[in-house]
Chain A
Amino acid sequence: MNKIRVIVAKPGLDGHDRGAKVIARALRDAGMEVIYTGLRQTPEQIVAAALQEDADVVGLSILSGAHMHVCPRVVELLRDKGLDHVLVVVGGIIPDVDIPKLRAAGVSGIFLPGSPMQEIIDFIKANAQPRLERV
């Protein structure tokens, strides 16, 4: 069985990494391969990691309000690298008005505070396309 590979990244200047670390562990415990990039990653660094690790999913944790800058840029850079198949999900504090804009920009999953871990795990399992299935 091919494991889903997930990059969990914490972009921007914010260092509040509780959510990123908890979700990284939960995804790993759910049988995925998780690479946590650590703090203060630029969109370029995140996409480089996705390319290098042959990731199926990029998960972004953003609490600071920088999501409208970071998320569309990550999606755009993934496309530039031919990584259109990579599922992009974001978790954090996202105002309602920004949710349709993020979806339009290509963010597939948006998870707000209080989202159960299981919901995020199920979403990724249902929507990620692991390597062997892509040809």
Chain B
Amino acid sequence: MSGMKTATPPTTSGRGRWEARVLEPALAKAPERSGPFTTVSGRDVRRLYTADDVPGFDYETNLADPGRFPYTRGIHETGYRGKLWTMRQFAGFGTPEETNARYKELLEAGGTGLSVAFDLPTLMGRDPDHPLSLGEVGKCGVSISSLADMERLFDGISLADVTTSMTINSPASMIFAMYLVVAEKQGADWGRLSGTIQNDILKEFIAQKEYIYPPRPSMRLITDVFAFCADQVPRWNTISVSGYHIREAGATALQELAFTLRDGIEYVQWGIDAGLDVDRFVPRISFFFNAHNDFFEEIAKYRAARRIWSEVMRDRFGARDERSLKLRFHTQTAGVSLTAQQPYNNVVRTAIQALAAVLGGTQSLHTNSLDEALALPTKEAVTIALRTQQVIAYESGVTSSVDPLGGSYYVESLTRDMRDGAYGYFETIDRMGGMVAAIEHGYPQREVAESAYKFQQAVEKKDKVIVGVNDFVADREEPIPTLYIDESVAERQLARLDRVRRDRDGGRVGRALDQLRETAAGTGNTMEPLLECVRAYATVGEMCDALRDVWGEWEEEPVI
């Protein structure tokens, strides 16, 4: 411990003297590049960071040793020396059978967790035969309509032995109920199941826009899952509060951090308001961040996130359980940073981003594939992406020491600025009455759109260089092989849906859906009627429609 304290920056610095005596003459001889020297988020970066940039830096309050409050240096005492991060590659396309085969390949290649990508009809709570599903079935993920699809998705995979992350939001509780019923049929004890549902509706309103119901009933579905899991699926991560999509939609690193953590605060507040004890459900809240190109800014973001969460849980909500204070997070490299031009360069971008996530202490990581600006990835591209993580884990040496950048003047200064900036956003949002109210006013949506436009302008002016796109452009490019999903997927899924509807007990389905409507109109927990709907082979579309009947749908005001 005392050894680590030598990381504390000294309190005096000779920057002023150095600037006058050394820098000025050097600049006179050889001027700097014209810049601008800013992060990818547009934040100014100094030429040199010294102790002057972290005034009043105190090791115990700013950092503390790993595994100790406020967890800036990490939630684990031993960092990655104990356990490496989970290499979790998000995958899903076409039919459940095709995706099932990809999962088995990933597990054989040394992947250590599954991560399910659903197609747009599933994400929007529509069956494959709905008019809006035309042309979308199986395109961006796997098509799941009823328990029959879910059984095929996990065929031959023991749910008691894998951890599964499912990227599903508006219909999260329906899909989760399907997972639980598949586990039940496999004979797996719910108490032993481990995994995550994204279940984060606030970032849908802010960024990804895959919402169905208005914000308030949507929040109720989520607190119902909190309560249900606290009782029955205690090892399940009930929500993955996500900055990833907020960042992809154009937010800066600071906005990603601030809106995500403020979303987290909102969920905790709503859980408490629903009558839950803070330490009963907060330990199962996890986070999901982006890893963008700006290496140090990203590392600072993760470190600040851990510190802020522990402070807020302790001071704002009075959490006592250590697990409530420790922010655990998944990271995905930035899809938005990938270029369609010279796609092999994306391997390099992804490696840099992944390294930032690891140096920031991520618990799990998805690395994007080089072809993802063009299509869903091929098997070969996915393998390189996974190998990128393995090279970092086993060859780079960065996993041997905990928080190796701790004490860097630059990183500590950035971490502090991130924290202060996030608290500034919290104040603004608190004044608006919380995140749900802020969303209803369109505040975070406008902030993100504004940043997206500013970034695009910087690219157009070449203030920001994107290699292969606005500079270092190739005259001619050879196309690379890509995955093409054809319409046969839709045909097969439609045929299966017909069969499910013919074979099931229609009376039981109708009764289950009626019960769901009744519970939704009252105050009971929606998970129980949803489980019965799933067991009766009700479809995602039918379950979501039942709730649409009760709660209506959300439409946002289009603003540019």
Please list the residues of chain A having a beta carbon within 8 angstroms of any beta carbon in chain B. 8, 12-18, 21-22, 24-26, 28, 34, 36-40, 42, 64-66, 68-70, 93, 95-97, 112-114, 116-118
Contacts and interface: CB of A to CB of B under 8 A. Distances in A.
A19 to B, nearest CB: 9
Given A113-B373, A117-B456, A16 B560 contact: no
Contacts of A116: 460, 470
Interface stretch (B5-13, B120-128, B377-385, B419-427): B120-128
Contacts of B249: 16-18
B50 interface: no
Give the interface centre of B456, B470, B556, B557 by most chain A CB atoms within 10 Å.
B456
Nearest to B449: A21
A22 B559 CA distance: 11
A93 B374 contact: yes
A118 B375 contact: no
B107 interface: no
Given A15-B210, A93-B374, A116-B460, A64 B452 contact: no
B136 interface: yes
Interface string B86-123: 00000000000000000000000000000000001101
B45 interface: no
B135 A93 contact: no
Contacts of B556: 38-39
For chain B, the bracket of interface size reads 35 or more
B484 A13 contact: no
Given A21-B560, A36-B560, A114-B466, A16 B456 contact: no
B389 interface: no
A65 B136 contact: yes
Given A14-B120, A116-B470, 8 more contacts: A13-B120, A18-B250, A22-B456, A38-B558, A42-B131, A64-B140, A69-B134, A95-B484
Nearest to A26: B456
Given A96-B479, A118-B460, A22 B208 contact: no
Contacts of A37: 558
25 contacts: A12-B120, A12-B136, A15-B204, A16-B248, A22-B452, A25-B453, A25-B560, A26-B453, A28-B560, A36-B560, A39-B209, A39-B556, A39-B558, A64-B139, A65-B140, A65-B485, A68-B135, A69-B134, A93-B374, A93-B375, A95-B375, A112-B340, A114-B373, A114-B469, A118-B460
Contacts of B124: 13
B26 interface: no
A118 B558 CA distance: 24
Contacts of B120: 12-14, 64
Given A18-B250, A34-B560, A39-B556, A13 B453 contact: no
A17 to B, nearest CB: 6
A97 B484 CA distance: 10
Contact of B558 (A36, A42, A69): A36
A26 B560 CA distance: 10
Q: Is the interface of B mostly helix, strand, loop or mixed?
A: loop
Contacts of A68: 135
Contacts of A36: 558-560
A1 B123 CA distance: 45
Contacts of A117: 456, 460
Interface of B: 120-121, 123-124, 126, 131-136, 139-140, 204, 208-211, 248-250, 336, 339-341, 373-375, 449, 452-453, 456, 460, 466, 469-470, 479, 482, 484-485, 555-560
B458 to A, nearest CB: 12
A14 B374 CA distance: 16
Contacts of B139: 64-66
A93 B484 CA distance: 12
Nearest to B558: A38
A54 to B, nearest CB: 19
B484 A21 contact: no
Contacts of B250: 18, 22
A95 B374 contact: yes
Contacts of A95: 374-375, 482, 484
Nearest to B376: A65
The 8 closest A-B pairs by CB, nearest first: A15-B209, A69-B135, A38-B558, A65-B139, A66-B135, A13-B120, A113-B340, A24-B560
A17 B209 contact: yes
B504 to A, nearest CB: 26
Given A40-B132, A64-B139, A13 B560 contact: no
Given A37-B558, A114-B340, A116-B470, A66 B136 contact: yes
A133 to B, nearest CB: 26
A30 B145 CA distance: 45
A28 to B, nearest CB: 7
Contacts of A15: 204, 208-211
A114 B135 contact: no
Contacts of B374: 93, 95
Contact of B248 (A13, A18, A39): A18
B135 A12 contact: yes
A15 B204 CA distance: 9
A42 B135 CA distance: 12
A13 B341 CA distance: 27
Nearest to B448: A18
Contacts of A113: 339-340, 373
Nearest to A112: B340
A79 B210 CA distance: 32
Contacts of B452: 18, 21-22
Contacts of A26: 453, 456
A51 B338 CA distance: 37
Give the interface centre of A8, A64, A70 by most chain B CB atoms within 10 Å.
A64
Nearest to A65: B139
B102 to A, nearest CB: 17
A94 B43 CA distance: 34
Nearest to A43: B134
Nearest to B130: A13
